[in-house]
Amino acid sequence: MKNETRFALFALAMALALISTTSRSQVPTPPVIAQRGTVATGSIQSERDGKVYLNTTPCKSSAEAKIVIFHDHFNRTQAGPVDCYPAKFDTFTLEQL
């Protein structure tokens, strides 16, 4: 096999590996629906329609965020701030009842 052919095959393999790795890392993780007894700590992303969307990984990008959805009725306690330089978030612990 000629060197040019080997190089072309190597370049193609590297490009495919890069595309595969990049596309997988940017697919957001689907949210988890809290079941009775679920406890999680994180920053509140939003509250709407009787649901709280809790980001349990506030220092990660939105594509890497892990979201837990709590619905009526749940306990909420303040857990304190988390410093994700340069941003700072208040965190809460939620328990689904």
What are 24-35's pLDDT values in tens digits?
Answer: 556 778 999 999
Q: Helix (H, G, I), strand (E, B), or coil: what is residue 63?
A: coil
Q: Is 18 a member of any domain?
A: no
pLDDT at 10: 62
Long-range contacts of residues 54-58, Cβ cutoff 8 Å, at least 24 apart: 54/92, 54/94, 58/82, 58/84, 58/89, 58/91
In a domain, 91, yes or no: yes
In whole angstroms, give the CA distance from residue 83 to residue 79.
Answer: 13
Give a yes or no: residue 52 inside a domain: yes
**Full residue range of the structural domain in which residue 86 is found:** 29-96
In a domain, 14, yes or no: no
Which pTM value belongs to this model? 0.71
Supply the pLDDT for residue 19: 65
Q: How many domains does the chain have?
A: 1
Q: Is 1 contained in some domain?
A: no
Tokens of 64: 């890497």
User: Is 11 a domain residue?
Assistant: no
Assess contact for 43 and 62: CB atoms under 8 A. no
Q: Identify how many contiguous H helices and E strands the chain contains and give both numbers.
A: 1, 6
